[in-house]
Amino acid sequence: MDSNDLLPPGILVHGSPREIGRHFAAIALMQPVDRTVDGVICAPRAAPELAARGLARCRLPVTSLRDPPGWPDPPAQTVANWYIKSPEHIGAPAGFDELVQVAGEGFGTWPHPTTLLCLGALGLLPDGPAIDLGCGSGLLAQAWATTRGPVTAIDIDNRAITQAQSSMAHAGLDTRVDFRCGPIGRLLPGALGTVLFANVPPIAHHEIMAALRPNGQTLLMSGLRVSAAAPILDAYTHLGFRIARASESDGWGCWVLTHPPTATRSRSAKKGNNHR
Ligand SMILES: C[S@@+](CC[C@H](N)C(=O)[O-])C[C@H]1O[C@@H](n2cnc3c(N)ncnc32)[C@H](O)[C@@H]1O
């Protein structure tokens, strides 16, 4: 028996707007598609595994509905204060920042552990213009555009750029993001940003290191298993980056790396020389 057979076609979660907001992390997993005076209607069969988890966690009363109230795609879920949703899901309650994803073929529509780790770490990053290197479906770029500021989003895969652009338009943020399709090695040198997101495979990290002029950037780095990360972390450290934070999920890692601005480095290097 698969989890679909265990779930009703629809679920009405009963609660006031305040109660719904308080339990929203569980309700988001059940795929909320409509609000009524009684609460929120969910379409659990659109994402059975997530919905089963949400139903098990939900502390509000629920009623089963006979007909599916919709098939939202991609599925919704929350991570930290982010609510990732399709255009068919209800909007975010107070306390959540909304990220809209349309269906498509870009990596990240069904968020990978590394994407979720990066989203959870965004709050640790300083303000500044950002560059999303290998933006995939555009979740990280959209998160930055919605809460912080302008972003340049780069991906080699035209399908990812198309999907990210369409999601950004649904979120009303398309004017805050400069999309560029092509390889990181060619596009990074012309892009302006002090905050870099790089949730990409190891080979693309080497491309970044070859193209980057390190000078005061903060780099949110992922795309690697913790067990395989040492050579990449060593190579960034060799360029002058230091590891400020590290997190892990399901064996995947995510690191915040910081590089001191060149002026500060040469001043402190001179200071160091004076002490010799
Ligand atoms: C692991 S996915 C991450 C997507 C997104 N950043 C996220 O966090 O969900 C990596 C993305 O990097 C893109 N990519 C890989 N190598 C690249 C390269 N050399 N230049 C540009 N994009 C690249 C892929 O097309 C893919 O969309």
CATH number at residue 222: 3.40.50.150
Which ranges of the chain have pLDDT less than 70?
Answer: 1-5, 108-109, 263-276
User: Burial level of 40, CB count in 10 A (0-12/13-18/19+)?
Assistant: buried
The answer to whether residues 117 and 28 belong to one domain is no
**Does 84 sit in the ligand 1 pocket, CB within 6 Å?**
no
The answer to whether residues 164 and 226 belong to one domain is yes
The answer to whether residues 56 and 175 belong to one domain is no
Q: Could you list the residue range(s) of the whole structural domain that residue 50 is in?
A: 3-100
CA of 133 to the centre of ligand 1 (A): 7
**Does 90 sit in the ligand 1 pocket, CB within 6 Å?**
no
State the pLDDT at residue 274: 38
The answer to whether residues 137 and 69 belong to one domain is no
**Does 167 sit in the ligand 1 pocket, CB within 6 Å?**
no
Closest residue by Cα to residue 205 from 181, 175, 230, 227 = 230
CA of 68 to the centre of ligand 1 (A): 35
**Does 138 sit in the ligand 1 pocket, CB within 6 Å?**
no
CA of 136 to the centre of ligand 1 (A): 5
State the pLDDT at residue 4: 57
The answer to whether residues 95 and 129 belong to one domain is no
Closest protein CA for atom 16 of ligand 1: 204
CA of 27 to the centre of ligand 1 (A): 30
CA distance linking residue 211 with residue 141, whole number of Å: 20
Boundary residue ending a domain (79, 100, 121) = 100
Structural domains of the chain, count: 2
pTM of the shown model: 0.91
Closest protein CA for atom 13 of ligand 1: 134
State the pLDDT at residue 266: 52
CA of 184 to the centre of ligand 1 (A): 9
Q: Is residue 270 part of a domain?
A: no
State the pLDDT at residue 273: 42
**Does 142 sit in the ligand 1 pocket, CB within 6 Å?**
no
Per-residue exposure over 217-244, b if at least 16 CB sit within 10 Å of its own CB, e if not: bbbbbbbbebeebeebbeebeeeebeee
Q: Is residue 276 part of a domain?
A: no
The answer to whether residues 131 and 211 belong to one domain is yes
